[in-house]
């Protein structure tokens, strides 16, 4: 049986069953929490439950970094592929670097 509690401005659903890892998530509405709990408990009853906690914790950027470390080195164009898939500096980081360069350049005598 799932437990559903109001926590501040959101709803928390928690499922604890013997033989399965504890599952919990937060939702904006009670109805969303109940629907999620029913779906997960149904999967547990049918034996089709798959723990998704690790998958939900990873971001797309994390997956790209892992791919660059584990798969790319074994490919012919590994260096080029790593340049394509790894994150680049953001515009804010780029402008910081060029601002520092511009200050040094302006301070030099002509």
4-54 confidence digits (pLDDT tens): 999 899 999 999 999 999 999 999 999 999 999 999 999 999 999 988 887
**pLDDT value of position 84:** 87
Tell me: do 16 and 47 sit in the same domain.
yes
Question: Is 58 found in the same domain as 19?
Answer: no
Structure tokens at 86: 């790894």
C-beta atoms surrounding 13 within 10 Å: 22
Using one digit for the tens of pLDDT, what is the confidence trace for 41-68?
999 999 999 888 877 788 888 888 889 9
Same domain, 13 and 41: yes
pTM of this structure: 0.55
- Reduced to 3 DSSP states, what percent helix, strand and coil does the chain have, rounded to the nearest 5? 55, 15, 30
Q: Which residue has the higher pLDDT, 92 or 39?
A: 39
**pLDDT value at residue 59:** 85
Does residue 97 lie in a domain region?
A: no
């Amino acid at each position: 049986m799932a437990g559903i509690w109001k926590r501040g401005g959101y709803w928390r659903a928690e499922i604890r069953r013997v033989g399965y890892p504890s599952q919990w998530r937060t939702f904006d509405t009670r109805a969303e929490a109940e629907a999620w709990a029913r779906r997960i408990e149904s999967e547990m009853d049918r034996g089709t439950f798959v723990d998704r906690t690790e998958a939900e914790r990873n971001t797309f950027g994390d997956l790209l970094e892992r791919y660059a470390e584990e798969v790319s080195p074994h490919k012919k164009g590994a260096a080029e592929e790593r340049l394509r898939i790894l994150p680049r500096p953001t515009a804010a980081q780029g402008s910081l670097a060029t601002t520092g360069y511009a200050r040094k350049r302006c301070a030099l005598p002509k």
